[in-house]
Structure 1
C-alpha cells in the first residue's frame, strides 16, 4: 500500500472535498465550527500516528505528511486546530507515567481533542510560565502567549519550567477554571478562525498524576531544536491549493519546482541524525517558503481584482501563507530565512 492509497489519506481527501474546502472561505471569516472538529474526530485522523494498541493507526510518516498536506490545503484553520493534537499523543506514547493509561486511548481514538501550550519554552532563559511543587501536585504561574483551539479542545498539554530548570508537561482540562483564564479570541491577519487566545495562569493547580513529562530543560531543548529547521507539510499543502487556481501553463513549472523542494525537504526530515545538515535544512525550508509565496502570489494575480475580496480563495491562501512564515519560527530559522531573502534578487 502506498501513501496515496492508504485509507486515512482517502478519508482526508473525502473530508477536504466534501466539507473543508467548500466551507473554507466562510470558516475563515466565522471560525472553525464544532462540526468540522467532530468530523475530524470521527475520521480516525487524530490517531494517525498513535499506537495501534490504543486505537490509533501508527501510520507511516508519508501518510502523516500526506494527510496534513490535504487538510492544510483545504482549510488551514481547521488543520491548525487539529495538528496541535499530535504532540500530546506522541508525548503520551513515549511516557510511562500514569496519565498515559488515562488519556492515550481517548486521544488516539478521537474521543477527545487536545491542544498544546508549550511554544513559550523556546524563549528560555526567559520563563513565561513557572512551575512549583504544591500539595500533591504542581502550581503553574505566568502567561501562555498563544493557545489555539479554545472552545474546541477538550484538554490541553501545558508546559512550564520548574525551579530545578526542568521542562514539565501536564494535561489540564481546556476550560476556564480557578487559576486559568483565557483572553478574548485574538484578531489575526490570518487564521483568526483557529480560536487562538492567550492564557493567564495564576496559581493553576494540577495533580501530580496529570504530569506527562519531566526532563531537564537542556535535554528537552536538544530534542525540540531541530524540528523548526524543516519545512512542514502545510507549506506544500497550501502551495498546491494555490497552484490549483492558476492556469496549467503557468502552474506546471511552479509545481515541478515545488515537488523537487518537497522531495528534498522530506529526505532531510527523514535523516536519522536530526542534528546534522542544519544549514541545508534551513536553506531548503527558506526555499519552500519562497515557492509558497510565489504560488500564492500567482493565485492572486490570476484572480485579478476579485482576489481582494475577503471571501476570495486566492486571498485567503495568501494570508495563510503569511501565517505559515512565522508558525513555529525560532531565532535560528528567522535568521536563516532573512539571510536568504537578503540575497534573493527578486
Structure 2
C-alpha cells in the first residue's frame, strides 16, 4: 500500500478539508480550540509514531499526514506534533510508565506535550533534576511549553547532578510547584498556546521516569533528529503554491518536489548518522523553497495579503516560525552559511 492510499492519509485529508483549513485564519487569531484537538484524538493520527501493534505506520505515511495537517492549520499541527516524541520514547522503554501511558496516548485518550527543548541550552541548565529518597525534584524554568490547556500530560526533562538527561511524565496542569505564564504573544503560532513553566521543587516519583542517560549520549541522538527536512515545511510550501496559478507555481513546485524526494530518500535509505552534511544541505534548501513559495503567495495576493485574515501572510509567518522550530547549533549554522552563500552569489552575479 502506498502512503497516499493509506487510511490514515485519507483521514488526515478529511480532517484538513472539513475542519482545519476552513478555520485556519480564525484559529490563527483566536487560538487552537479544544474541538480541533478532540478531532485529532479521534482520527487515529496520534499513533503514527507508535509500534505497529499500537497503530504505528511507516515513516512515509507519518510524513504525508504531517504535511497535510501543517498545510491546513500549522497551529493545530504544531500542538499535536509535540505528542509524537513522548510516544516514540515510551515505545523504546521498558519502564512502568510505558505500561501506564503508551496505550492511552496512542488511542487518543490523552495528548502529551513536551518540555525538553531547554536541554539544548547545555552547558547552561534551565531545569535541574535533583534526586530525592523516592523520586526526583525539578527546579528551574521551562522557557517553552506548547499546548497549555490542551495537553493532558507532559514529558518533562531536567539535568541531574551527574550531568544526565532525565525525562519523566507529569500532568499538564497547574500544581503547587508548577506554574504557567500567560500565553506568549508570538509573531506566528500564538494560537498554539505556548507558555513558560516555573518549577519550584516539583516532585515526581521514580515510576514517572521514562529515560535517564548521560547528557552527551542524549545530545548525540538529538542532533540526528534535527538534520532532516521537516514535512511541515513541505506542507506549508504546498499550501502557498496552491494560491498561485499553475504557470506561476510550476517552477516552485518542481524545485519543491526535487528537494522533498531527495530529503525523504536520505531518511528512508540511509542510517540516521550517515550523510549528515547532505541532510543539512537539503534541510536548508527546503527552507529556501518555503521562503520563495510563501513570498510568492504574498506578492500574488497584493495588498489583501497584508490583512491579518489573509492566508498568504499567515503562511509567510508560519514559514518564519518553521525556520527556527527544532533548531540546534548545527542546523542554525548550516542555514546561516547557506544564506550567506546565497548573498555572495547574488553579489557576484550583479558584479558580472
TM class by shorter chain equals over 0.9
Q: Over aligned residues, Cα RMSD in angstroms?
A: 0.9
**Quick one: which of 252, 255, 259 aligns to 1:254?**
252
**Quick one: which of 57, 68, 73 aligns to 2:55?**
57
Task: Give structure 2 stretches of 5+ with no counterpart.
Answer: 347-352
Equivalenced residues, count: 344
**Quick one: which of 59, 63, 66 aligns to 2:64?**
66
Aligned partner of 1:105 in structure 2 is: 103
Aligned partner of 2:350 in structure 1 is: none
Aligned partner of 2:4 in structure 1 is: 4
Aligned partner of 1:207 in structure 2 is: 205
Looking at structure 1, the residues matched to 41 and 271 of structure 2 have their Cα atoms a distance apart, in angstroms, of: 33
Aligned partner of 2:25 in structure 1 is: 25
After superposition, the C-alpha distances for 1:307-335 in whole angstroms (9 at most, x for unaligned) are 00000001100000000010011111111
Secondary structure of the equivalent of 1:187?
A: coil
Conservation of the 8 A alpha-carbon contact between 1:51 and 1:108: no
Looking at structure 1, the residues matched to 229 and 51 of structure 2 have their Cα atoms a distance apart, in angstroms, of: 25
Aligned partner of 1:162 in structure 2 is: 160
Superposed counterparts of 1:309-320, under 5 Å: 309-320=307-318
Which moves more between the two structures, 11-20 or 212-221?
Answer: 212-221
TM-score, structure 1 as length reference: 0.98
The alpha carbon displacement at 1:270 in A equals: 2.6
After superposition, the C-alpha distances for 1:178-203 in whole angstroms (9 at most, x for unaligned) are 11111110000000000000011110
The alpha carbon displacement at 1:276 in A equals: 2.3
After superposition, the C-alpha distances for 1:35-74 in whole angstroms (9 at most, x for unaligned) are 0000000000001221243xx3221000000000000000
Secondary structure of the equivalent of 1:9?
A: helix
Conservation of the 8 A alpha-carbon contact between 1:129 and 1:159: yes
Conservation of the 8 A alpha-carbon contact between 1:167 and 1:220: yes
The alpha carbon displacement at 1:264 in A equals: 0.8
Looking at structure 2, the residues matched to 242 and 166 of structure 1 have their Cα atoms a distance apart, in angstroms, of: 43
Secondary structure of the equivalent of 2:226?
A: helix
The alpha carbon displacement at 1:227 in A equals: 1.2
Looking at structure 1, the residues matched to 323 and 250 of structure 2 have their Cα atoms a distance apart, in angstroms, of: 24
The alpha carbon displacement at 1:221 in A equals: 1.1
The alpha carbon displacement at 1:225 in A equals: 0.8
Aligned partner of 1:195 in structure 2 is: 193
Looking at structure 1, the residues matched to 167 and 269 of structure 2 have their Cα atoms a distance apart, in angstroms, of: 27
After superposition, the C-alpha distances for 1:120-171 in whole angstroms (9 at most, x for unaligned) are 1111111111001123110000111100000000000000111111110000
Secondary structure of the equivalent of 1:225?
A: helix
1:274 paired to 2:272? yes
Looking at structure 2, the residues matched to 273 and 5 of structure 1 have their Cα atoms a distance apart, in angstroms, of: 26
TM-score, structure 2 as length reference: 0.96
Aligned partner of 1:338 in structure 2 is: 336
Looking at structure 2, the residues matched to 4 and 162 of structure 1 have their Cα atoms a distance apart, in angstroms, of: 44
Task: Give structure 1 stretches of 5+ with no counterpart.
Answer: none
Looking at structure 2, the residues matched to 319 and 272 of structure 1 have their Cα atoms a distance apart, in angstroms, of: 33
Which moves more between the two structures, 100-109 or 130-139?
Answer: 130-139
Aligned partner of 2:288 in structure 1 is: 290
Aligned partner of 1:87 in structure 2 is: 85
Looking at structure 2, the residues matched to 136 and 69 of structure 1 have their Cα atoms a distance apart, in angstroms, of: 43
The alpha carbon displacement at 1:271 in A equals: 4.2
Secondary structure of the equivalent of 2:273?
A: coil
Looking at structure 1, the residues matched to 244 and 169 of structure 2 have their Cα atoms a distance apart, in angstroms, of: 44
**Quick one: which of 218, 221, 227 aligns to 1:220?**
218
